[in-house]
Structure 1
């Protein structure tokens, strides 16, 4: 089916992609595939961190750089992608990014030493930067406003499925053949997802790239968004969500591999099947936000993460699994709602607004994820969980501020 055919599935009268049309379904499948490819590649190294520590004789904090360096570079790449988004063809850049990231996963699998692996992962952060900000901008521009929360939830669900698949498959394959085949498999899956994305995604109907814009024209919306009464608090929520989530997932493998659990890589990887709950939560909470408002649903998501963290304070495996499940549900629900709220709040420059949100989001992963390594080295698991508890408390304060702002409108 060609692009002109897919466009015909959109509402001819409104120009939106509306629920129930073929174009709406194709766009959701394509962006689900993009989320899958991005996050399976990004997070496949998390269950491999103990192997990196052993094989390269490095500390857990150093091993965490295999993720933190990617998300740190990704944060700034996303920001500049958002900054220049008004002059960028959405589909073309996202397609190129997905293909490049798959190639770099294969390069990482062939790395001869730790530093080459880090270099490949840093370049992967550059490549992946073309997807999330533009995907958020595409959805906010093309989806009918009443269907945006659901569509954003499905995109985040693809991210959840990719994150789960990357972690679980990497853990299982690493037990069989080592970390190199594990990363190579993720790269091969990325090529398949990229092909599906290129074939399925309808072209933009409500966006035209603006050529010849001066640099100040790209920067102008940034200051407006940062002076907004609500958007900076939403950016803070993204920072807290990702920083808290990645910190727990970075170091849970070390805890489960040690006494009293002493679990194998495959068993640790299997824990991440709880990501399936994140797929459901993203779609469900996105629809709840459409019906009941974003702020109260976002607060509920943070409450779920806090409850999950509480379950992880005891050395009892079932409680730990329940805690990971609640934390995962709360994280994906929160990210779905927060990211879906950015576009409607932004007064123009939606790509720049998405870029700012994702800059905060991935800086949370890079900065807090690595900071967690220092807490792990000094205080072990209680230190990591205490740090996350403080972060979640700050996030809930930010949401309460958003609720006050909403009532004043």
Structure 2
């Protein structure tokens, strides 16, 4: 097993963080372009939001393929090949002749983007000791947020000065170059145990995970939190592109620097989990997310940015701990268990527009806030239930 802070741990963690960074550059590059694409193609806010929704939906569905497949054929090859295919899809997006083709390519891209997140944490679970796993997951999730920031910054700035096609070309070229470096850095696994793929046992494994309340709670918490968090960013771009803010695409891209709050939250998650109950920290993360959402109600742009930063910190704190929770409590088939968490996670993201759109039409941003609080109340109750479970486990151990 690879121990924390060793040379092998740093090399593997760096490779996985790079891969995660590249995945989320590709996934989120179109987000600051939504107001511009809405006008260019003459579609509604819900219609243009499908560029994000179809990608996250197909990504979620791909996890059901890549997770069990990785348990059978290994994990490194899936991560390496799908990362390069994702870069190729970004290059193809630059050549899309119409909105329908753009949607179809995003659907395909979402599917191949699922290859790395479906198996990365399972790879760590195989190769790392438990203390090494906790530290690595926090850094890996931090790379998620950095990738999300960079994708939006690159997408927004390149689109404003050179057009949306240039944004997709830039992201694609970065992904192909980074994918080759990832291929070189990632060590081959030593602890992986081959499990021949059989459809019925694979489905039974997924069903077994869904029957475990301790895992189902983490799945629901991650999915619902992400439904709110990521779609708030989509609707805030529509708010800030309109009067009185009138922000251009490059400025909207800068809004996503608030994800740095998430980088801090995910990086601190491992340290906090070593000193406090992970489920208690998840509960705190949800409360912080609710408070940050309240701050965004202010009219001041500075206060909106502060609220989004607070949101990112709370969300990524809870998400990092929920991810590692699955790795700790899954009984066998870790690849499938981790993939199932991400299925809920990205399925939530793909459905968020359908949940928040009626609130947006009803009361604008204030409606989005009310719709957010309604679901975050549910995840807070789930996190508190997980905390009670941890206390019972500790009492039984004593």
SS for the counterpart of 2:193 is: coil
Query: Quick one: distance in 2 between partners of 1:313 and 1:170?
Result: 26
Query: Quick one: distance in 1 between partners of 2:143 and 2:36?
Result: 27
RMSD (CA atoms): 1.3
Match of 1:327 in 2: 311
Match of 1:8 in 2: none
Contact 1:98 1:194 in 2 (8 A): yes
Match of 1:26 in 2: 11
Match of 1:194 in 2: 179
Aligned length: 393
- Give the CA deviation at 1:385: 1.3
Please give the TM-score of this superposition, normalised by the length of structure 1: 0.93
Give the unaligned 5+ runs of structure 2.
Answer: 394-398
Query: Quick one: distance in 1 between partners of 2:353 and 2:68?
Result: 25
Query: Quick one: distance in 2 between partners of 1:362 and 1:295?
Result: 21
Match of 2:379 in 1: 395
Any residues of structure 2 matched to 1:62-211 within 5 Å, and which?
62-211=47-196
Contact 2:260 2:309 in 1 (8 A): no
- Give the CA deviation at 1:84: 2.8
Structure 1 window deviating more from structure 2 (81-90 vs 311-320): it is 81-90
- Give the CA deviation at 1:401: 1.1
SS for the counterpart of 1:313 is: coil
Match of 1:382 in 2: 366
- Give the CA deviation at 1:21: 1.4
- Give the CA deviation at 1:288: 1.2
Match of 1:364 in 2: 348
Query: Quick one: distance in 2 between partners of 1:287 and 1:182?
Result: 37
C-alpha distance 190-370 of structure 1, shift in aligned 2 (>3 A)? farther
Could you report, residue by residue, the CA deviation over 1:273-322 in whole angstroms, capped at 9, with x for unpaired residues? 12223222211112211332310111111111111101011211111011
Query: Quick one: distance in 2 between partners of 1:202 and 1:129?
Result: 20
Contact 2:277 2:390 in 1 (8 A): no
Could you report, residue by residue, the CA deviation over 1:308-353 in whole angstroms, capped at 9, with x for unpaired residues? 1010112111110110100111111111111111011101111111
Contact 1:282 1:332 in 2 (8 A): yes
1:307 to 291, 296, 301: 291
4+ long deviations beyond 6 Å? none
- Give the CA deviation at 1:74: 0.7
Structure 1 window deviating more from structure 2 (370-379 vs 258-267): it is 370-379
1:346 to 304, 325, 330: 330
Query: Quick one: distance in 2 between partners of 1:158 and 1:370?
Result: 28
SS for the counterpart of 1:101 is: helix
Query: Quick one: distance in 2 between partners of 1:349 and 1:131?
Result: 17
Query: Quick one: distance in 1 between partners of 2:322 and 2:179?
Result: 26
C-alpha distance 22-319 of structure 1, shift in aligned 2 (>3 A)? same
Could you report, residue by residue, the CA deviation over 1:347-390 in whole angstroms, capped at 9, with x for unpaired residues? 11111111111110001100113432333233321111111111
SS for the counterpart of 2:115 is: coil
